[in-house]
Structure formats: structure tokens, C-alpha cells
Amino acid sequence: MPAAILAGDALLALAEEILLDLGTAGSARAARCLASTTRRLIAGQALDLGFESRQDVTLEECTVMSLDKTSALFACACTLGAVLCEAPTRLALALAGFGSDLGLAFQLVDDLLGIWGRTEVTGKPVLSDLRSRKKSLPVTAALNAGTPASRRLAALYAQPDPLSEAQLVEAAALVEEAGGRAWAETTADKRIASAQAQLATAEIPAAVREEFMAVARFVTARDC
């Protein structure tokens, strides 16, 4: 564990070094983009950590957390090359917008898999996010829907004892009944459409566009 944390920190420092080695104006801007992205990721992760001890997380707070924790990383990954080689600002922004929307879609799909994903796909036990009572996006949407199912789900999440297998299955059904699953699926689709629309405005070669599209398909086609 200490070695893993050190390795992660070393990779971050190395990434900054490599970007700055070029010594160009784009190199410094790319390094700044990576540093501010890292800070946002950490802000998102810190928010997520804080959610663990709270029962009143709103859907807006949860979305802001996902935008910081996941979308910012995708946006940076998609635009960093353009920033580094000093591409026009319009192109860099279009790629960042594509990445940001794709990142939120990824998080929504990831959260759906955290409840309904098959173990052989996710590598995690079934219902794993419910087991740890994670306040993921579909769960938060369900908790805030104001339905009878929302209240029953909130009671399960507030229970001091670990949830039994039957309660886990019930909790998943309640997320669905309160509309959390449908909301997450619809929102993911909207974000993918928005990502594609932004990619369409980017003036890039067809082959490059196809590579970005392949990433979008990979992110959203993970088997539930």
C-alpha cells in the first residue's frame, strides 16, 4: 500500500517532467492543464470521501463530484495532446468538452455496473457498491426522487448493521423502482450524444475522429 501510493505520486511527477521537458509554450500550458486536473480529481475524491458519512447528498453535489473526479480526467486526456502541440483554442476546447461529457457517461455506466454488473465483467462482487453503501449517481438519484421507494432505500442505507444478501437485492430493486437506474441510463445516453456533437465541431482528420469515437464506444459498451 505505501509502495502503491509512492508509485502513483512518482508517475504524476514524471508526467509533469516529461511535459515540461519539451520547453515550449504548449509544454508549459499542458503541464498546467495536468496540474489543475490533478487538483480537481483530488477535490472530487475528497468530496466522495465526505459523502460516506453523510445521509443528505443531493444529486447536484454528486454530479459535481463526478465532474471533478472523472470528467476532468477524461477532458484532460482528450485535450492534452492538442494543448501540447499548440492547436487552435477552439479545437482544444471541443476535445475537452468531448472528454468531459464522455467522462460523466463513463461514471454513470460504471455506477450502473457497480450495482447490476456481472462479477466476470467488473471483477467486483455483485451489488458491490450497495454493499459498501456508496452514494453513486443512480443511488443518489433514487434517494432524492421523493418516492416511497426512496424512503425505503434511505432506511436501508441508514441501517447500522451490514446489509444482508436479501437486503442488497431489495436495495437494487428500490434504486430501480425510484427511477435511479432509468435516470442514469438516460443521462449517460444524453452525455454521449453531447460528446459526439462536440467532437463533430472539431476540425481533425477522419482517422483521428474515428479513434476518439472508438474510445466513446468502448466506454459505454461495457457489458452490464
Residues that bind a copy of itself (CB under 8 A): 2-3, 5-7, 9-10, 12-14, 16-17, 20-21, 23, 27-28, 31-32, 35-36, 38-39, 42-43, 45-46, 49
Q: Which is nearer to a copy of itself, 82 or 199 (CB)?
A: 82
Helix (H) or strand (E) holding 201: helix 180-201
Q: Which is nearer to a copy of itself, 1 or 206 (CB)?
A: 1
Q: Which is nearer to a copy of itself, 43 or 91 (CB)?
A: 43
State the minimum distance, in angstroms, from the CB of residue 9 to a copy of itself.
5
How many angstroms separate the CA atoms of 115 and 6, rounded?
Answer: 31
State the minimum distance, in angstroms, from the CB of residue 27 to a copy of itself.
7
CB neighbour list of residue 204: distance below 8 Å, 6 or more residues apart = 91, 212
State the minimum distance, in angstroms, from the CB of residue 148 to a copy of itself.
35
Q: Which residues of 132-159 are buried (b: 16+ CB within 10 A; e: fewer)?
A: ebbbbbbbbbbbbbeeebbebbbebbee
Of 208, 183, 13, 12, nearest to 104 (Cα)?
Answer: 183
- Are the beta carbons of 220 and 109 closer than 8 angstroms? yes
Q: Which is nearer to a copy of itself, 21 or 165 (CB)?
A: 21
State the minimum distance, in angstroms, from the CB of residue 160 to a copy of itself.
22
State the minimum distance, in angstroms, from the CB of residue 92 to a copy of itself.
16
From the CB of residue 81, how many other CB atoms can be counted at a distance below 10 Å? 14
Q: Which is nearer to a copy of itself, 40 or 131 (CB)?
A: 40
Alpha helix segments (H runs only) across 52-164: 59-66, 72-84, 89-116, 119-122, 128-131, 137-143, 148-158
State the minimum distance, in angstroms, from the CB of residue 212 to a copy of itself.
26
Q: Which is nearer to a copy of itself, 21 or 210 (CB)?
A: 21
